[in-house]
Amino acid sequence: MESVALYSFQATEKDELPFQKGDTLKILNMEDDQNWYKAELFGREGFVPKNYIKVKPHPWYAGRVSRQLAEERLLQRNHPGAFLIRDSESAPGEFSLSVSYGKDVQHFKVLRERNGKYFLWEEKFNSLNELVDFYRMTTIAKEQQIFLWDEDQSQQVPPWMGPWVPKPCRSPLEAQCPCRGTGTSLAGPQGGEEQERRAVLPGGRAPGAAQRGRAGQGRAGQGTHPRPSGQE
C-alpha cells in the first residue's frame, strides 16, 4: 500500500520514521496500532502517525484476511485473474497475493529485496501498486495466461489476447526455471501458507519489534498520535 504525506513529521523516538510533506511512503502494517502505521521511505522503516498521511485506497488490498476466506471471495467472483493482496498469515509484516485460476485459487508470497523492491519472478518493483499494474498486462502464470483482473473490469475485454509465448529465462537457477517445464518454481503457487516463499526483510528487524506501548495505550505512554503542527 502507498500513502502520501499530508504534513512533514520529525521523529522524536528511534523507531519513528521522519518524512516531508508530499513524500510517498510504503505502508507495511496498518493493523497493530490504531494511531500509528509501520511504513518505509528511502529504504528506512519506522512508525508514522496515521493522521499525517493519506492512504491511497485500493479495492484489491484485503488486509488481514485468511487464506481460506481469500479463496472463497475470489471463487465467488467467478473469473480468472480475480485477485487480492492480503497480509501474510505465516509471516507478519509481509504480503501474499491470491489469484483465481478459474477453478481454483493460487497463492504467491510477495518477496522483497533488501533495498525494499517487491517481486514474484524476475521483474522488480518499487511498490505493490507497480507490481499489480505490471501483472495486469503480463501473465502472472507461466503455464497459462492469467492477468490480474479487478471486479469492475469484468465486463471489459482483457488487456491482451493471443497465444502465449514464454520469455527467455533469466533466472540464476535456469535449470530449475518453471518456464523450461522442469524443476521447482521459483515463485510458483505453493500448497500451504507455511510453504510460501518468504520475503527478505530489509534492515533485519522483525515486524512488530518496536511496538512498545502500542495497541490500546499509544506509543511510549503518549496515549494518542501527535497532532499535525502545520509545518510543511
pLDDT for position 29: 81
**Residue 191 confidence (pLDDT) above 80:** no
- Band of pLDDT at residue 26, cut at 50, 70 and 90: confident
Residues 6+ positions from 82 with CB-CB distance below 8 Å: 74, 99, 100, 149, 151
- Band of pLDDT at residue 59, cut at 50, 70 and 90: confident
* Residue 9 CB burial class (10 angstroms; 0-12, 13-18, ≥19): buried
Name the percent of the chain lying above pLDDT 70: 64
Cα 48 to Cα 182: distance, rounded to the nearest angstrom: 45
- Band of pLDDT at residue 139, cut at 50, 70 and 90: very high
Cα 75 to Cα 67: distance, rounded to the nearest angstrom: 12
Which of 11-20, 60-69, 165-174, 217-226 bottoms out in mean pLDDT, i.e. has the lowest?
Answer: 165-174
Q: Which domains does the chain have, with CATH numbers?
A: 2-57 (2.30.30.40), 61-195 (3.30.505.10)
- Band of pLDDT at residue 188, cut at 50, 70 and 90: very low
Residue 55's CB: how many other CB atoms inside 10 A? 15
**Residue 71 confidence (pLDDT) above 70:** yes
**What is the pLDDT of the chain when averaged over all its residues?**
74
DSSP letter assigned to residue 55: E
- Band of pLDDT at residue 170, cut at 50, 70 and 90: very low
**Residue 128 confidence (pLDDT) above 80:** yes
Residues 6+ positions from 35 with CB-CB distance below 8 Å: 49, 50, 51, 218, 219, 224, 225
